[in-house]
A and B are shown apart, each in its own frame.
Chain A
Amino acid sequence: MLSKIILAGFGGQGIIVAGKLLASAAMKLGKNVTHFPSYGAEMRGGTCNCSVVISDKQISSPIINEPDVAIVLNKPSKDKYEPKCKTNGMLILNKSLIKDETKRTDLKVGYIDASEIAERIGNSKVANMVILGAFAKITSLVNINSLIDSLKDVFPTMPDKLLDLNIKALQEGFNLAYVI
């Protein structure tokens, strides 16, 4: 098993840290993982992405050319990564911010109203967690419990109240994701 996943969105949407949580959760399940962020001149509002590779074997290359799964939180990221996805790959979309139809017909497409759900449960900043919950539901590459268990490793100083909100976001994403 070798899965190459790209997470992409606006700077400030928590893309890098969501990738770290995903990698951490997969690691907890005994997988080999790499996490590589776009780094340097990133800024709030600009685009940013990270690459997560999950494998049963040693990971040779942390670099992703054709992702198996692209998790995209905004339209520019969908436009960039939809064409790059592997044949018969998967796209998981933040439906709140991406209204366009997908052009490719070979891709399996998962939907979640990540930003709207995040706002409804208390804070738009947890849209990244909502879409990760959706990812867990749609792909089964990680399970929701391993994501929840990893929160404390990735956010060691997070107060309980915010931890609870993040857990809720993961669960809502898991429960409300759908595939067409």
Chain B
Amino acid sequence: MEKVQLLKGNEALAEAAVRAGCRYYFGYPITPQNEIPAYMSKRLPEVGGVFIQAESETASINMVYGACSCGARAMTSSSSPGISLMQEGLSYLAGADLPAVVINVMRGGPGLGNISPSQADYLQSVKGGGHGDYNLIVLAPYSVQEIVDLTIKCFDLAFKYRNPVMLIADGMLGQMSEPVVLPKMIDVKDDLDWVVGNGNHAIIHSLYLNPEDMLEIHNAKLQKKYEAIKNECIEFEKYLCDDATSIFVSYGTPARVCKAAIDELREKGIKVGLFRPISLWPFPEKELNELASQVANHSGKVIVVEMAKNQLEQDVKLAVNGKCEIVALNKLGGAIFNETEIIDFVLKDRK
């Protein structure tokens, strides 16, 4: 067992990626994720890897496309405005069935916005910011240890399904330090028959000109893959939900703040719980729907808490499907929740 270390979210993420076998990193600097490329630039040469600071985010994502085409464990990272620039590349990666890992340490928007923590890229991540019928697997940690665990999972899932995987964290998680235990270096032996240079494979592409006998079939294949992912990759946490009459739905840093609020509200005799989706796509729809029945039986509410407006809430509405009332508490533009606000919101809402 490795020892407990105090690590910053971004640095822990970078080291976890290296231990998961990532040997190629391409990126362009942007706060609040700069510690990732800074760490990689020092660390990757030590393990025989390659670090390139690209000329732009567009270049970074396409470098990842190239490395993944050769079967390499490759990643890029950025923050909101940079991720917007990568959307075309993400669609191409999805279309070409490539196992890329992309990290978004989200900041306030829209536009250049600010550098404070935000969750306003939820819909862009889970509904596809690029063109075409495609899905990324999207995972959302809420602690530094979970950043480590999920980063490793990102690489596993990417290669298992040959699909791009995105990890989204608000800037708070990238910047905060917590005790973590890192896994040992994983000895990766990817034996891939589809990569460029293996046998007759000379090209990886997402171009299928003929609709009926090519692109339609390709899309059907992608959809079949997405169905498999929906069945196999759902992840979530329930906190004090068993006897809860109302439920918070939240992920990332706000989910932590909800937990603090829940502990205080329960001291006042108010039975609330937290449902925390960890896989944002696929979304744990069925599990939340079951909880909505429980909430409806108590005439309670589902309370969405997000640092964004009507984003997570949309998926919650689809999952709850009218079974109970939904209210939302939002913070926009990089502002951060504190537990008092959440507690006050619940107390006021009950009156």
Residues of chain A touching chain B, judged by Cβ–Cβ distance below 8 Å, are 20, 23-24, 27, 32-37, 39-41, 59-63, 65, 153
Q: A60-B259, A61-B256 are contacts. A33–B338 as well, Cβ < 8 Å? A: no
A to B CB contacts below 8 Å, 16 in the list: A20-B177, A23-B177, A24-B6, A33-B177, A34-B176, A35-B176, A36-B177, A40-B32, A60-B259, A60-B263, A61-B259, A62-B176, A63-B172, A65-B338, A65-B340, A153-B6
Of residues 293 to 351 in B, which have CB atoms within 8 Å of A's CB atoms?
Answer: 336-340
Please state if A34 and B178 are interface contacts (CB–CB under 8 Å).
yes
Residues of chain B touching chain A, judged by Cβ–Cβ distance below 8 Å, are 4-6, 31-32, 115, 171-172, 175-179, 253, 256-257, 259-260, 263, 336-340
Please state if B256 and A60 are interface contacts (CB–CB under 8 Å).
yes
B179 neighbours in A (Cβ, 8 Å): 27, 32-33
- Please report whether the interface of chain A is mostly helix, strand, loop or mixed according to DSSP: mixed
- The smallest C-beta distance from B147 to any residue of chain A, in angstroms, reads 13
Please state if B339 and A61 are interface contacts (CB–CB under 8 Å).
yes
Within the assembled complex, what's the spacing in Å between the Cα atoms of A62 and B256?
8
- The smallest C-beta distance from B305 to any residue of chain A, in angstroms, reads 12
Name the residue in A34, A40, A59, A62 with the highest tally of chain B Cβ atoms < 10 Å from its Cβ. Answer: A62
- The smallest C-beta distance from A155 to any residue of chain B, in angstroms, reads 13
B337 nearest in chain A by CB position? A63
User: Given B6, B172, B260, B337, which contacts A27 in the complex, CB threshold below 8 Å?
Assistant: B6
- The smallest C-beta distance from A2 to any residue of chain B, in angstroms, reads 10
B337 neighbours in A (Cβ, 8 Å): 63
A150 nearest in chain B by CB position? B6
Q: A20-B177, A36-B175, A36-B176 are contacts. A41–B257 as well, Cβ < 8 Å? A: no
Please state if B336 and A23 are interface contacts (CB–CB under 8 Å).
no
Within the assembled complex, what's the spacing in Å between the Cα atoms of A153 and B340?
35
- The smallest C-beta distance from A149 to any residue of chain B, in angstroms, reads 13
A60 neighbours in B (Cβ, 8 Å): 256-257, 259-260, 263, 339
B176 nearest in chain A by CB position? A36
Within the assembled complex, what's the spacing in Å between the Cα atoms of A111 and B175?
30
Please state if B257 and A61 are interface contacts (CB–CB under 8 Å).
yes
